[in-house]
Structure 1
Amino acid sequence: MSSRRTKSGFIIAAAFIGPGTVTTASLAGAGFGFHLVWALLFSVLATVILQDMAVRLGFATRAGMSHALSNQIKNPLLRRGILLLVVCAIGVGNAAYESGNLTGAAIGLNNIAGLGIPIWSCLLGALAIVLLWLGQYRLIENVLVSLVAVMALVFVLTFAVSQPDWQQMAEQLFTPHLSADSLTTILALIGTTIVPYNLFLHASLVAQSEQESPHEASHYRRQSALAISTGGLITLFIVATAMQAFYGQSESLHAGNLARQLAPLLGDYAQWFFAVGMFAAGLTSAITAPLAAAYALTGALNKPADLRSPWFRGIWLCIILVGIGFSLTGTRPLVAILFAQAANGLLLPVIGLLLLYMMNFHPALGRLKNNWLANLGGVSVILLIVWLSWQKFA
């Protein structure tokens, strides 16, 4: 990497706004209007809090999160257990989710040129492989930041022409819902925003940047908060647009009718808006998911976290190829997805607690260690996520 500051925060925004986010936010807006926006706001705030810790950890230790965990946990049995959980949740999970990322982007492009979803998935997978194989961080960064800008433009314009009912949105915003019917959607909104692998990705990106002085940390922290907030705002626009199109309507929302049902709002341009938005969302996740897995797993396996190292390339290549394979067959790896969701559900509170521990006791942190406010925020986030999960599955 060159000495120029990186845009790592916007790569994280690109990572969490994928087809899953578009779908979940659309379902939230269609089914519950603005009554669940509180869950989105909590998710964005929680992501800012946790990613800020990851930024400071990567900056101070000059190592990825897997390396930091391995060095900080002295008990060998506990260390192996945590690293095994990382491998299972992030390695298996990202491989399972990659098919959805490629398929989501392919659905968008197929609405423009009907080559078929399998062909588009292969072409997009090949594009991701070429981009990552080149090993040029600036190129990857510029592509991802550009795609975030495209998503922002598409979804903001979509919302702007939807003639939003501001009064209804305000009323629903201040009458939040938390019920058995809405709990699944609430957890989905939280899960698609607070992504465990983004903590590993962010720490690694900051750790490998060329830092000229200790004061650079404040730049990356501000950038992280701004980028994540931007991603949250894009998600909010998706919720609002789906609310205008579907809330209170007799026909329910699903992937097959999203573009068609936007036609009353967007006219002949509905198909193009939907296609470009899904393409940008899918491609960003199709690139960042294998990239994050490579950083996390090379750290867990104590291998070089270098864009051009054989281990690094081998990990992300396997994940993309698995995603292409499932896309070609048209099947979803349900067992792997369920396993990954369970592992991620366990991983987030565990990693959150370990992150809090490291942010208070890691010797390299110095002035970057947590203060009482950061600790309060981190503990509150973890407790609320655990409580909501308990309410769902108890």
Structure 2
Amino acid sequence: MALLSKSRSKVAYDSPLHIRFLSGWTQAWSGDNHWGIGGRDVLKALGPGFLVSVGYMDPGNWGTNLAAGAGFGYQLLWVILVSNIVAIFLQIAAAKLGIATGKNLAQLIHEQFSRPVASFLGATAVIAIMATDLAEILGGALGFNILFGIPLFPAALLTGIIVMVLLGLSHWGLRKIEYVIMGFVSIIGLAYVYETALIHASWGSIAFHTVIPQISSGSILVAVGIIGATVMPHNIFLHSYLSPHRLSSPDAPMQERRKVLRLAKIDTIAALNVAFFVNAAMLVVAGAVFYGHVRANNLDLQTAYITLIPILGSLAGFAFGIGLLASGLSSTMTGTLAGQVVLEGFLQRRVPMWIWRVITLIPALLVAALNIPTVQVLVVSQVVLSLQLPFTIVALLILSNRRDLLGDFVNTRRLTSIHVIIALIIIALNVWLLYSTFRGQ
């Protein structure tokens, strides 16, 4: 469990992951002719982006996509596309920060910001990740409940135990965790490929609404929810931690860092595009099955499962349940990793993984024991994310424009302009989302 046990000035280059993974990379860099990017390089680089991508397919996204499809058909597909583009820019910025400095965002905030600011950012980040992890544990519990009829309390406990067992694979290297996550992503994708094949969708209308923005007065809040809560703080912290592990050493030369960054971009774009297609498929299925038949504000994950079966068949219901379970387990795994990254980065000391797991498992068990509606938990977690996310984004952009930290990797003016626009849009949408939530809309 000592995955994140290294000090702030050194990533885990002597971890089992590095020992096993480095051998392939050193061969790729053994001569001048190997500095181009080949197919084997890309395959070896895949992983961090997929760990991050599950945060864009977590149970909260399932709920939002179902509500969007049930309430407005295919109309908001373009919002998912815009959200994906925004996420790609910010995740690449996080990866670049880690590759250029060899440190993650939590470590850099602790080192580069004043103590009061760093403490505030650290505390709010921990709270936001706890809220996210709570919702994701309940998502996994719902998957067990839907598939096997297990009550939520023991299902939440089972989710936490399974996640800890799977994270125990980190003893043999982070690459093992990446394989598990990519397996879960494949399950989620296949579940929705199957469901999409069962429906009679209007593909011309789907293509139109994917590229042509349209919005109505009733769909504004749902659209704001999709964009405003798509990028989550824990994904940014986690990506900045994972990316330096692709370097051969803390003192890797500039040429190697550039290659690792190019591969990180490919990994990120590939993984987040998988997330885009999965989210779009969720909305398409919801639009085809529920639109005009089920009121969106009455549709939660359990209701969606029950409604799917008489329309698409029991196998479609099973695909929905197994996909939700894979989503809950995978997102809980990455939430645990992100929580440990943030705690160790800000506390500057090793934090055993089980401590973070217990911290977030106890609230989930209390919610399940008290029979608090999962929809309310998702709403609360979204509000907490909306409150904290602007701080994380601003910190990321400030550090990304520090030439003394990033050197030649510092953002260009054009990229800085794009990041500022994205940050302003997300901040505005989150403020709007909070305002609408507290007004009870």
Length-normalised TM-score, structure 1: 0.88
Could you tell me which residue of structure 2 aligns to residue 384 of structure 1? Answer: 425
Cα distance per residue 1:306-352 (max 9 Å; x no partner): xxx53x44223322343234334433699987775444323222222
Could you tell me which residue of structure 1 aligns to residue 328 of structure 2? Answer: 282
Cα distance per residue 1:111-158 (max 9 Å; x no partner): 332233333222221111222245332332211110001101111221
1:292 aligns with 2:359: no
Choose the corresponding residue for 1:148, options 165, 185, 192: 185
What number of residue pairs does the alignment pair up?
384
Could you tell me which residue of structure 2 aligns to residue 358 of structure 1? Answer: 399
Which amino acid in structure 1 is aligned with residue 142 of structure 2?
I
Shift of 1:375: 1.3
Shift of 1:208: 3.5
Cα distance per residue 1:79-122 (max 9 Å; x no partner): 333333323333x424xx42x32332233333332233333222
Which amino acid in structure 2 is aligned with residue 25 of structure 1?
N
CA contact under 8 A between 2:60 and 2:378: conserved in structure 1?
Answer: no
Label 1:290 to 1:328 Cα distance change in 2 as closer, same or farther (>3 A). farther
Choose the corresponding residue for 1:101, options 131, 136, 139: 136
Could you tell me which residue of structure 1 aligns to residue 27 of structure 2? Answer: none
Label 1:192 to 1:343 Cα distance change in 2 as closer, same or farther (>3 A). closer
Q: Secondary structure at the match of 1:31?
A: helix
Choose the corresponding residue for 2:79, options 39, 53, 57: 39
Shift of 1:191: 4.0
Shift of 1:159: 0.9
CA contact under 8 A between 1:63 and 1:208: conserved in structure 2?
Answer: no
Could you tell me which residue of structure 2 aligns to residue 81 of structure 1? Answer: 120
Give the distance between the partners of 1:203 and 1:369, measured in 2 at CA: 15
Choose the corresponding residue for 2:292, options 244, 248, 261: 248
Q: Secondary structure at the match of 1:135?
A: helix
Label 1:231 to 1:333 Cα distance change in 2 as closer, same or farther (>3 A). closer
Give the distance between the partners of 2:93 and 2:219, measured in 1 at CA: 30
Give the distance between the partners of 2:101 and 2:194, measured in 1 at CA: 41
Which amino acid in structure 1 is aligned with residue 91 of structure 2?
Q
Choose the corresponding residue for 1:18, options 41, 49, 58: 58
CA contact under 8 A between 1:294 and 1:313: conserved in structure 2?
Answer: no
Label 1:78 to 1:116 Cα distance change in 2 as closer, same or farther (>3 A). closer
Could you tell me which residue of structure 1 aligns to residue 3 of structure 2? Answer: none
Q: Secondary structure at the match of 1:256?
A: helix
- What does residue range 113-132 of structure 1 map to in structure 2 within 5 Å? 113-132=148-167
Label 1:127 to 1:119 Cα distance change in 2 as closer, same or farther (>3 A). same
CA contact under 8 A between 1:19 and 1:281: conserved in structure 2?
Answer: yes
Q: CA RMSD in A?
A: 2.6
CA contact under 8 A between 1:9 and 1:228: conserved in structure 2?
Answer: yes
Cα distance per residue 1:230-272 (max 9 Å; x no partner): 1111100000010000112255533333123223552231221
Q: Secondary structure at the match of 2:199?
A: coil
Moved more, 281-290 or 368-377: 368-377
Give the distance between the partners of 1:339 and 1:262, measured in 2 at CA: 27
CA contact under 8 A between 1:106 and 1:279: conserved in structure 2?
Answer: yes
Give the distance between the partners of 2:125 and 2:362, measured in 1 at CA: 20
Q: Secondary structure at the match of 2:302?
A: coil
Shift of 1:51: 0.4
Could you tell me which residue of structure 1 aligns to residue 389 of structure 2? Answer: 348
Give the distance between the partners of 2:294 and 2:61, measured in 1 at CA: 23
Which amino acid in structure 2 is aligned with residue 103 of structure 1?
L
Length-normalised TM-score, structure 2: 0.79
